[in-house]
Amino acid sequence: MSRIAAVSALGQQIWLDNLSRQLIESSELARWISEDAVAGVTSNPAIFYNAIRTDPAYQTAVATLKGSAQDAERRFENLVLPDVQKACDLFLPLYEASSGRAGLVSFEVSPALAGEQRATVQAAQRLWSEIARPNAMIKIPATAAGIAAVRECIADGINVNVTLIFSPAQLAAVQTAYREGIERRWQAGQSVDRIASVASVFISRLDSLLDPELPRELQGRTAIAMARRAYAEWLQQPALPGGAQAQMLLWASTSAKNPAYRDVLYVEQLIGQGTVNTVPDATLAAFRHHGEAAPTLNADAAGTEHQLAAIAALGIDLDTVGEVLQRTGLQQFSEAFAKLLDLVR
């Protein structure tokens, strides 16, 4: 068994944080599914910008699209949505075998809509319809407008990946929106048992921001502590009506940004049943080579509370920090999306 597949055996899904035409056409993604039990894919504007800029498989298609009368965003979607559909098709057997709990592929709404609830819902509905795969997920940022849109999309029966969560308050609001969306749909007499959603909690960026302000013994521990507390609370959540799935916790941004840290730190320390970790290619390769699979999300509860208490004692409020990180994340995604559209304009 590969080291990555060993994580799956412990009840956690490993998703690839990457998607491109080359990954599909080379059969590399199919190989990772069969050999490493990779159980899903996430994407974002930065990922597609890099793919379109560097993947030869896109170059001819980009040149052809530039002759069309469509706007840049539609050209981009026409370029990559077929690849999203092909990825969904690759994962469909896993999706069906898991009763809709694995084998999911995420595609993000435009970051320009992060402050617009109605436009986000409309974009999610359109993308859900155009991808037309039961194991697609529409990615929506956890802004105030985005969270309100999530509630509507879940009630509409759309699978949602809620992204850019950086704090306990943001996560709690996302979880409430998911529950309310499920309850609204159930009360309307519609089925809820095959709706899938993940709450994507960003990990390494929190430590990257806080570590310079912390004494050495507290560095590299805050994000893990926040995630472990979130998992402990997630395990206590009440059941949803109609056999609806719990919204899964997904650990995002799990490559180690600090070269002094073990390169698989945020994978090894966040393994827990019923969760997801989405990793870029380099982190996947590193874990395949030397990662250690063990259930760690429930480990060292006392250490988790000590770390969070020490952070609070220093006057650091994680919810305030989360707002800063979310604004920065949105700006980065918006800049990547703008550059992406320039490639096809």
CA angle at 18 for the pair 69 and 51, rounded to the nearest 5°: 40
**Axis crossing angle, helix 168-187 with helix 318-344, rounded to the nearest 10:** 70
Distances (CA, A) of 276 to 137, 218, 232: 14, 26, 15
Of 66, 139, 257, 339, the active-site residue reads 139
CB atoms within 10 A of CB 172: 15
CA pair distance 170, 147, nearest whole angstrom: 9
Strands (E) across the chain are located at 13-16, 40-41, 104-108, 136-141, 160-165, 197-202, 248-252, 276-279
Structure tokens at 241: 């009506």
210 φ, ψ (degrees, to nearest 5): -85, -30
CA pair distance 313, 26, nearest whole angstrom: 52
Structure tokens at 218: 């507290």
CA pair distance 296, 45, nearest whole angstrom: 31
| Burial of 166 (C-beta count, 10 Å sphere; 0-12/13-18/19+) | buried
Q: What is the dihedral of CA 255, 257, 261, 267, to 10 degrees?
A: -20
CA pair distance 226, 224, nearest whole angstrom: 5
- Known catalytic membership, residue 139: yes
Structure tokens at 232: 């402990």
Structure tokens at 230: 């979130």
**What's the half-sphere exposure (Cβ side, CA atoms, 13 Å) at 170?**
29
Catalytic residues: 139
